[in-house]
Amino acid sequence: MAQIGLRAGPMVGHVDMRSASIWVQTLTESSVRITYRNNVTGKWLSTSTRQTRAEDGNCITFVLDSVEPGRTYEYSIMINDVVQTFDVPTTFKSRPIWKWRGKNVPPLAIALGSCHYVNEAGFERQDSLGKESGYGSDYQIFTAINAMKPDAMLWLGDNTYLREPDWNSRAGMIKRYGHTRALLESRALFASVPNYATWDDHDYGPNDSDRGWWGKKDALDVFKLFWANPSYGVMEKPGITTSFELIDVQVFMLDDRYYRAPNDRKDGDQTILGEHQIQWLIDALASSTATFKIIAVGSQFLTDNLRKECFARMPSERQRIIDLISTNKINGVLFVSGDIHAAELSTFDRVGSYPLYELTTSSLTAGSNKDIAKQSNTYRVPGTEFGEHNFALISVAGMKGARVLTMRVMNKDGKEVWKRDVAEKELR
């Protein structure tokens, strides 16, 4: 495997029918280009050559603009005119055209995870004898995720753990992100599966950080350097909010940090999302034609356990969002979240409408919450709590008008822990 000048990557980002994003990070300032071809014509195409810059952490994202729908592509990375070779596939599939094609709708599988910690010698916590104790483990979980062959991977926050040496400077943030992204065990997943991310406090700054965090602009800048989402922010406001479609599923990724009020502030607006983001979310949900509408956010939405920074800390905002979904008769809504270092399924009954579900999956490699079963959550579905390293899968299959969404939580080795099916008609 020859990787001359490569620090991390490649990573497949947002992929649509006629474009795809590929991210790389070089060791030093370098000239980079990408060549790619599909399985139909076999003709090699090339991006223009671009330069990585030290001030950007030598990160660069290319948009491949000659992609066609429903094809498999292989791609190659050129750094300073040297072809990089990898021991993992560097491929992606463009989204197929499926609307107005009869009753047959393609199946879909989405992997989800949160709380990813990669140990770094010299930076870990020490005991009284000076011995370091790494917080990350079970990195083989990424091999298990990749083996499921998902159509996309949703990173639900705490995807990179910033620590005290990292969060106080832009350079520190870049170094920590780069160290995490360079993990060998995750390389295959990044190189061939479209990856999308929201954030939570540990990607953003110190623990439980909020809108008052002085480093928020640097945090946003670095997040954008390392992820290749389709967009960042809504209604002319900065942030990491975005949305995209995967067959008949639309994903709405929310920003629970940039506009979040401090947990302990008693006056002023009690908000996690901010008014502009709430209005955008309801507008986007109301106009969506997707069968299933997945709202992805770092903090838990439905739980009433205050052990973490869930929406129950801002109960009026949570209830308002629920009421707006009900008032506008929005079908097919499902929440997904991370943060709590355990997995669980919550369900919230509404008078005159379908129940709201929330699938929480955490953690991928960071420490586990083994006491989850002892911690209350009025809305938890009994038997769905799981306090070991895990990831989740959401799959959608079936004919048009009779689609079924299946939620599964998997352990670190890819073994199913529990499964729940929800039919399209149950979310109307």
Question: What's the pLDDT tens digit per position in 240-294?
Answer: 999 999 999 999 999 999 999 998 888 988 999 999 999 999 999 999 999 999 9
pLDDT of residue 2: 52
**Residues in Cβ contact with 77 at an 8 Å cutoff, skipping those fewer than 6 apart:** 6, 9, 10, 22, 24, 32, 34, 83, 84, 90
Half-sphere exposure of 364 (CA within 13 A, CB side): 30
Which tokens sit at 146? 């990749």
CA proximity to 258, closest of 279, 282, 227, 234: 234
Burial (CB count within 10 angstroms: exposed 0-12, middle 13-18, buried 19+), residue 46? middle
Looking at every residue in the chain, the average pLDDT score rounds to 96
Beta bridge partners of 406: 395, 421
Q: How many CB atoms lie within 10 A of CB 383?
A: 11
Q: What is the pLDDT of residues 357-407, one digit of tens each?
A: 999 999 999 999 999 999 999 999 999 999 999 999 999 999 999 999 999
The domain segmentation of the chain, as residue ranges, is 6-93, 108-427
Tell me which residue of 113, 111, 239, 218 sits closest to 162, measured CA to CA: 218
* pLDDT tops 60 at residue 72: yes
Place of tokens 């995490």: 180
* Strand-by-strand arrangement of the 6-15 sheet: 6-15, 20-26, 59-64
Task: Give residue for tokens 């669980």.
Answer: 344
CATH number, domain 6-93: 2.60.40.10
Average pLDDT over residues 117-123: 94
Domain 108-427 has CATH 3.40.50.720: no
| Residue 212 · residue 262 · CB < 8 Å | yes
pLDDT digit string, tens, across residues 223-248? 999 999 999 999 999 999 999 999 99
The predicted structure's pLDDT at residue 1: 46
The answer to whether 243 touches 252, Cβ cutoff 8 Å, is yes
State pLDDT tens for residues 338-350: 999 999 999 999 9
Burial of 135 (0-12, 13-18, 19+ CB in 10 A): middle
The two tokens of residue 360 are 């929480």
Tell whether omega for the bond before 21 is within 30 degrees of 0, i.e. cis.
Answer: no
From the centroid of its chain, how far is CA 169?
24
| C-alpha distances in Å from residue 183, one per residue of 39, 139, 190, 239 | 29, 9, 10, 27
Percent of the chain with pLDDT over 70: 99
Report d(CA 191, CA 201) in Å as an integer.
Answer: 26
pLDDT tens figures, 16-49: 999 999 999 999 999 999 999 999 999 999 999 9
Mean pLDDT of 174-188: 98
Quickly count: other Cβ atoms within 10 Å of residue 397's Cβ. Answer: 14
The answer to whether the beta carbons of residues 189 and 231 sit under 8 Å apart is no
Q: How far apart are the C-alpha atoms of 283 and 264, rounded to whole Å? A: 30
